[in-house]
Structure 1
């Protein structure tokens, strides 16, 4: 629009197009009126592959080729060894989500394969337009001749079919055959989704990634042999890399289930067999029985075994894994893993379900105690000959940032994860196993979030070794992959940080630093738990001082906010836990415990200030930990939290809020002292300015939300008796949009819009 060569007519047309976009945005309801199904989440997530990742990946790999060429490496990256791979939990994460059923998992897998076939079909048509050359290798000529002979024999309409592709265009002949087979592949997936069956023979479709790569590789070889290597290394090479990365399923679906659900299944089986209750057995008894069954061949149960709905759901999930193509799935992740038997249990259930190629089993250690025992768990597994043979020298372990932080506070959780990774690597080296760490990071600092580059560089030495897995949460996927240039930058940061960590690893902490961190972690955990879990007033304060109870009205996702309907903070998921404190700009899970730890560390010895300062200057892990908390303080405002207290919290709970705000200010003071800053974000003026510009708008939304929550709770009998403003006349549009709300017209819509606005302003949800 602002280019000099734009004509007056073109500018007018651009103005009108911009007006249409703005008007369409204003006329679109910004509130999701119903909870999305897992399939809806999958479609939304997969749209990023279609819009940005599909084209962004080959562009990034081409840039890597250019960088390698710049340092004297003549060969391009091999197309059949994907540098980056994508997986998904959408439709596979059934941990505490009853809406993710075996049928949902099947539908999601078929839908992903349909999307992949659509993308491949479109790409093949583009290649057919591009590869018009007549000159080719003898190998390609022979393949085309075979295709012609087969088609003459099988098709009654040979003449009509071939007249569209002249015989002197061999590449188009081969690609045309692929296009027809992709059409069948796409239609078969469509029929299976619609009817559960298809009249298209499996032999007439692509069933493996290698079946697509082989003819593409033939085209590439032919072009190279006939002097057309620049053409071969263009769109054709990009497509070969896309096929190698995405496969026929676009993304591999990880299955996640809670360990206790597997215990229920095995308890049902042992009771059916009349050998006792698996749940009541000791860990040693469980391992002995599991290993004896894994080494044997007898079936454990028949169709007459009585099951509950929950047990049947787990068994049916394994059946779906067995039925679908193996490239649909990635890992089987066990949440709340605590012991070796949790891993062996899944291995046994996979064998019992006759899964042709069992999924790799990944324990997820989440609670502080589980992280502490994780090295011993892995050591025991590696000491089992059967298991060591099963994993073939490779093991993946996932560590959970969200639940560990909710369990012990962020400082203690971060330090325990650091130590656990070090010990896990030592165990893996002892047994000569290649270990891949899977980092279950959330979008916020309280759930392990933060700048990607810094997060990777702050990991312990020797824990990455050229490969790692990380989660990109739905709440921040737009920031990472919303535009093609963002996709490129995200891939660039992951790759650069991984390489830098390997070639220039961070220093190992000195013994003195370790001792001080151990000391502070104990204090931080005690402080955190004394308030969150042991203070009888805390749960009620949390639920009245924050919009936690109203969180579910946003319909953010398909999963319930709690693993179990009843229960307190323990059963609450990390996302609503962090979300609630983020909305009030208090961010309690991030800093609680840190202030007490720093204070006692400074008081414990006169030299500890210098030690902490050296840790901040020289140790990436400690510096990143402190800097991220400082960034959260820049987004926080205890005065806003006080406003919520004054409007929403009963009088008898207000002293607790005052106590917490004192701890907030104390923590902030100690943090600035350690960082040797006179003001928050002193070392990051750019971010400080951006936050300063957004702060007035966010504050206005906070004030509106606090008063809206007060009126909503008063109508349900949960409010306090404080005065609210008199200008509460609702807008007319929300009345029409949400006429069935139990609140006064406009209140619920206002509350939801303020939640979304605050999250957008702070750039975090949960």
Structure 2
């Protein structure tokens, strides 16, 4: 049976706005192809679109399949381009209409949900919170979306630029325009779509880390930073204390610092990332200072100014005789020159608007920049009152506190196995005779604690080290220099992948000691936060024990500082690949609660870092809902979470969307932090434990215990082709093997999405319910007893709706071993149908997503765009696996992969 969300699209037509937008853009694409390639080419696309409309619920499209089978390789590439372009344009049409629906929903009377931080604060005040209480809440808040690279990222920056402009033009059409303006916009849309058609969708070579940094910063510059500025301006005016607001929202990044399994990330990429980020934020500061200079032509002939301001103004270089009675302008000239000097130092370039090199002293750190701005504020207040300060100046201060000179804090991440090998070589080359890799865990921990108890280095500048060790030390030295240049806030945390033991936490501390970021002695200190990442189901279960061992060490308290807060990262992706959807979500939620309890018992705060992906199988879903679903007591005003790949553009691609998502995230953190802690009924707790364990067993039985499953996965999904495509800068697997254990979680999820299984988002749930023998009533109790379970069900329903078992069955037909392939597929299909039935029974629905018509509409629209691409991909995979190795076929497969990813959006 075809998924009911797509069936729903037939009985419930898409909204008028979405339909009109999609039709217009689709028609303009055909028009552009006809104009550029000829009417015969446009006719082929139109014929294929009409044939695709007759697809059956079983995933069959006889007319389309016959058409595709007769295509030459050149025609296959051509149609792949056309369908991929149509998929991108359909997304734009939906997004433009969607932003309108969001705006209308926000203004709907009677809706009292706190979707913004201002609304959340209003609710807190109504509950009795005082201004002092709120100031304390804000001071403790740390809300940080972290942009990460994506091994399956498929879009070029050039295409993103075209999409942005098309989106902007479509947004203008929402207004009632005169006929001549409407015609002009249509012509400009035609031009953009024609240019998009003539733009190569993807790179001929694999994307580099530099490309990833540039792509992400383009979105930061055009939408995320302006959204943050808007929010800080609103918050300073509406909820700040005397116009001041704590830097409660910041941005983070892994781009250029995440070297776990990535040969292209090193000290040079770390430097590049920070200097590129610095250029963006320093240019913005310079522009704001120029605006203030224009506004503050205040003369001492008419008003007194503070002595501090006069002293600041006196430092201005070569003041104009026309400005001698305008100390605010002189002070701002000095500030501008010092920002230029900072840019020269950090980026090697002047800030925007600078006309010459400056020889003034650069600011040593962002706090000095803020202090100079504060002098201006205090002088204005003293001479004319708060109303003279203005929102622009206060907002500049707020953003400077949040962004510093680095814009986004950059995390470092490395695998614990690399740390072990590096430590081993350092001891070997030191002549100590210590063979670190041969030691047991107790001996390792004892040795590392001793190493942190003194200041003597292990590293010698006169010793040559192996390639891996030299690279690790060079990267850490680059981090140390970054801290000296940008300040401590430029490095968010040092993430330790594959953390499983106490020594895994101690090893990077010893390594960082070698470059001066950790100081040894009786009371060792650290400039960086060390954050273990617990990824697998087993690691999540053992995490609280490891945390307790760490916090019981006296050195942990001096390393964590006076107000100790320990950051822990929780992995959604590998735990899902390890144990399935339900066991993973349960493991993360249970681990979060246990970690928070353990930290609280030891008198330490906790900051959880959620390593979520875009897809449901990797913890995806609305970020604000995910925060509200966290166990009580685990948020504590602090949360970091990853934003990956195509979801960065999806959630932050334009300023209104970025603002809405960032505001909603901050509001959710406040609300979640204020919830009372309560334990569920013991029977409900036991049922949840039973379901998670049974689901784990059901998932493992298929993925790891069935000897034929590995071959099934590699033949019934396009994983083999994905590994060979130039998408993402990171290898798809940690080793050269085909083992599921070694494959990275993102291409694992991506492959199932391409073949329309969406298996990581639901498999194991139904078999877990059956194995645990749970009734519908018990499952409803679970949904009421655990916020995360209610969220799990909602996101699982989306994954079920996005799946298409009819099309998935056609991928199964590609497998050489049809007996085992059909057997495994029958198991998957039964699980899918049972999961759908159970999910609907729990909430009393008749069809998937019938309680979320807009989301159902979105899934239906995506299906109409993506289904033809799947059929074309199937034809091309059959050709390539049949021995056709032409470059055209490889290119066409790449185009279908990208088009499907773009259409489904949350694919990895």
Question: What TM-score, normalized by structure 1, do the two folds share?
Answer: 0.89
Q: CA deviation at 1:58?
A: 2.6
Q: CA deviation at 1:33?
A: 2.1
Q: Name the structure 2 match of 1:88.
A: 253
Distance 2:458 2:798 in 1: 54
Contact 1:133–1:171 (CA<8 Å) still a contact in 2?
yes
Secondary structure of the structure 1 residue equivalent to 2:348 = helix
Distance 1:765 1:649 in 2: 26
Q: Name the structure 2 match of 1:34.
A: 205
Q: Name the structure 2 match of 1:626.
A: 793
CA shift in 2, pair 1:288/1:15, >3 Å: same
Q: CA deviation at 1:749?
A: 2.9
Q: CA deviation at 1:480?
A: 1.5
Distance 1:203 1:503 in 2: 48
Q: CA deviation at 1:117?
A: 2.1
What does 1:353-502 align with in structure 2 at a 5 Å threshold?
353-355=515-517, 358-392=527-561, 393-502=564-673
Q: In structure 2, which of residues 838, 849, 856 is the aligned counterpart of residue 681 of structure 1?
A: 849
Secondary structure of the structure 2 residue equivalent to 1:626 = helix
Q: Name the structure 1 match of 2:289.
A: 124
Q: Name the structure 1 match of 2:886.
A: 743
Distance 1:247 1:665 in 2: 52
CA shift in 2, pair 1:335/1:492, >3 Å: same
Q: CA deviation at 1:230?
A: 2.9
Secondary structure of the structure 1 residue equivalent to 2:632 = coil
Q: Name the structure 2 match of 1:175.
A: 332
What does 1:56-67 align with in structure 2 at a 5 Å threshold?
56-65=227-236, 67=238
Q: 269-278 vs 26-35, which deviates more?
A: 269-278
Q: Name the structure 1 match of 2:862.
A: 694
Q: In structure 1, which of residues 516, 529, 537 is the aligned counterpart of residue 687 of structure 2?
A: 516
Give yes or no for the alignment of 1:289 onto 2:447: yes
Q: Name the structure 1 match of 2:386.
A: 229
What does 1:4-403 align with in structure 2 at a 5 Å threshold?
10-65=181-236, 67-68=238-239, 75-76=241-242, 78-79=244-245, 81-134=246-299, 140=306, 143-144=309-310, 147-148=313-314, 150=315, 158=318, 162-163=320-321, 166-191=323-348, 204-227=361-384, 229-272=386-429, 273-324=431-482, 325=485, 326-327=487-488, 328-355=490-517, 358-392=527-561, 393-403=564-574
**Structure with the larger RCO, 1 or 2 (CA within 8 Å, 6+ apart):** 2
Contact 2:776–2:838 (CA<8 Å) still a contact in 1?
no
Secondary structure of the structure 2 residue equivalent to 1:476 = helix
Distance 1:681 1:506 in 2: 31
Q: Name the structure 1 match of 2:105.
A: none
Q: 437-446 vs 585-594, which deviates more?
A: 585-594
CA shift in 2, pair 1:14/1:475, >3 Å: closer
Distance 1:331 1:744 in 2: 43
Distance 2:310 2:407 in 1: 29
Distance 1:15 1:684 in 2: 32
Secondary structure of the structure 2 residue equivalent to 1:660 = helix
Give yes or no for the alignment of 1:660 onto 2:828: yes
Gaps of 5+ in 2: 1-171, 351-355, 519-525
Secondary structure of the structure 1 residue equivalent to 2:260 = coil
Contact 1:602–1:609 (CA<8 Å) still a contact in 2?
no
Q: Name the structure 2 match of 1:755.
A: 897
Distance 1:566 1:202 in 2: 56
Q: CA deviation at 1:9?
A: 5.4
1:15-60 CA-to-partner distances (Å, cap 9, x unmatched) read: 4433332222222111222212112211111122211122211311
CA shift in 2, pair 1:190/1:430, >3 Å: closer
Contact 2:877–2:893 (CA<8 Å) still a contact in 1?
yes
Q: CA deviation at 1:682?
A: 2.8
Q: In structure 2, which of residues 804, 807, 810 is the aligned counterpart of residue 643 of structure 1?
A: 810
Contact 2:613–2:642 (CA<8 Å) still a contact in 1?
yes
Distance 1:685 1:231 in 2: 49
CA shift in 2, pair 1:233/1:396, >3 Å: same
Say how many residue pairs are matched.
716
Give the superposed CA RMSD. 2.5
Q: In structure 1, which of residues 497, 503, 506 is the aligned counterpart of residue 674 of structure 2?
A: 503
1:147-166 CA-to-partner distances (Å, cap 9, x unmatched) read: 44x56xxx7xx4xx525x52
CA shift in 2, pair 1:359/1:16, >3 Å: same
Distance 1:298 1:507 in 2: 49
Secondary structure of the structure 2 residue equivalent to 1:569 = coil
Contact 1:397–1:438 (CA<8 Å) still a contact in 2?
yes
1:545-591 CA-to-partner distances (Å, cap 9, x unmatched) read: 11111114543321111122335111111110000001111111222
Distance 2:326 2:440 in 1: 70
CA shift in 2, pair 1:590/1:16, >3 Å: closer
Q: CA deviation at 1:122?
A: 1.9
1:454-488 CA-to-partner distances (Å, cap 9, x unmatched) read: 21111111011111111111220112111111111
Contact 1:708–1:750 (CA<8 Å) still a contact in 2?
yes
Distance 1:678 1:18 in 2: 40
Distance 1:548 1:657 in 2: 17
What does 1:505-544 align with in structure 2 at a 5 Å threshold?
505=676, 508-544=679-715
1:327-354 CA-to-partner distances (Å, cap 9, x unmatched) read: 4322111011111111111111111222
Q: 21-30 vs 182-191, which deviates more?
A: 182-191
Contact 1:715–1:743 (CA<8 Å) still a contact in 2?
no
Contact 1:456–1:501 (CA<8 Å) still a contact in 2?
yes
Secondary structure of the structure 1 residue equivalent to 2:455 = coil
Contact 1:381–1:388 (CA<8 Å) still a contact in 2?
no
Q: 580-589 vs 224-233, which deviates more?
A: 224-233
Distance 2:312 2:252 in 1: 37
Q: CA deviation at 1:208?
A: 0.6
Distance 2:615 2:303 in 1: 55
1:649-696 CA-to-partner distances (Å, cap 9, x unmatched) read: 432432222332222222322332333323212322221233223323
Distance 1:658 1:671 in 2: 20
Distance 1:251 1:631 in 2: 32
Q: Name the structure 2 match of 1:735.
A: none
CA shift in 2, pair 1:355/1:690, >3 Å: closer
Q: CA deviation at 1:14?
A: 3.5
Secondary structure of the structure 1 residue equivalent to 2:412 = strand
Secondary structure of the structure 2 residue equivalent to 1:331 = strand
Contact 1:595–1:671 (CA<8 Å) still a contact in 2?
no
Contact 2:255–2:410 (CA<8 Å) still a contact in 1?
yes
Q: CA deviation at 1:93?
A: 0.1
Distance 1:703 1:553 in 2: 20
Secondary structure of the structure 2 residue equivalent to 1:667 = helix
Q: CA deviation at 1:361?
A: 0.5
Q: CA deviation at 1:629?
A: 0.9
